[in-house]
């Protein structure tokens, strides 16, 4: 598989932009811009962050509490700062429950370490959610190597479940046995 083609294909998937924050061994705040964030489970409450093995953040996160800061649409400068292009402006740090967090975000998810797994050239950090904070701010998005903002709604439909739900779908008791999809 050609890595350039694969990266370009992955870029077709629009994601939110997060900054993962933690403390260094000497107590200083550290952060890294990450688009590879995934909610995993509601019970127990788990999230996953994928970081390049060789990154400084990957070395700091193993066994450490961290915060997932979902950046707001007007925080491109913060995203760029933690992606390696330092901003001359002051970074808006705030106190998190178990890890340092950023102020002005769309949401912040604070976690304690759950597990670290092999993810090829990345490490997969699972965190148990211990605190969440949300605001009414719209999130910053990333798609095709560029930052974007949410536009108008495509639909007002509400998520009512999925066909793979054993309580409401094709393999559940509520569906007649002779039904085929």
Domains for the chain: give ranges and CATH numbers. Answer: 3-149 (2.30.110.10)
pTM of this prediction?
0.82
Mean pLDDT value of segment 129-155:
86
Q: pLDDT by residue (tens digit) across 76-110? A: 999 999 999 988 888 989 988 899 999 999 999 99
* Length reported for the chain: 181
Exposed e or buried b for every residue in 121-159, given b needs 16+ CB within 10 A?
ebbbbbbbbbeebeeebebbbbeeeeeeeeeeeeeeeee
Say how far apart CA 55 and CA 53 lie, in whole Å: 6
Tokens of 79: 């995203």
Q: What is the pLDDT of residues 108-135, one digit of tens each?
A: 999 999 999 999 989 999 999 999 999 9
């Amino acid at each position: 598989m050609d890595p350039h083609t694969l990266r370009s294909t992955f870029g077709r998937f629009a994601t939110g932009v997060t900054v993962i924050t933690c403390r260094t061994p000497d107590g200083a705040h550290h952060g890294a811009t990450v688009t590879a964030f995934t909610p995993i489970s509601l019970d127990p409450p788990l999230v996953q962050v994928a970081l390049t093995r060789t990154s400084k953040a990957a070395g700091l996160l193993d066994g450490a509490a961290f915060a997932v800061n979902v950046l707001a649409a007007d925080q491109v400068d913060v995203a760029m700062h933690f992606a390696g292009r330092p901003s001359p402006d002051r970074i808006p740090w705030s106190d998190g429950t178990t890890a340092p967090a950023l102020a002005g975000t769309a949401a912040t998810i604070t976690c304690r370490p759950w597990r670290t797994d092999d993810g090829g050239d990345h490490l997969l950090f699972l965190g148990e959610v211990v605190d969440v904070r949300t605001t009414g701010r719209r999130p910053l998005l990333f798609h095709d190597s560029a930052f974007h903002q949410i536009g108008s709604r495509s639909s007002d439909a509400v998520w009512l479940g999925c066909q793979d739900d054993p309580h409401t779908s094709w393999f559940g008791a509520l569906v007649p046995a002779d039904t085929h999809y």
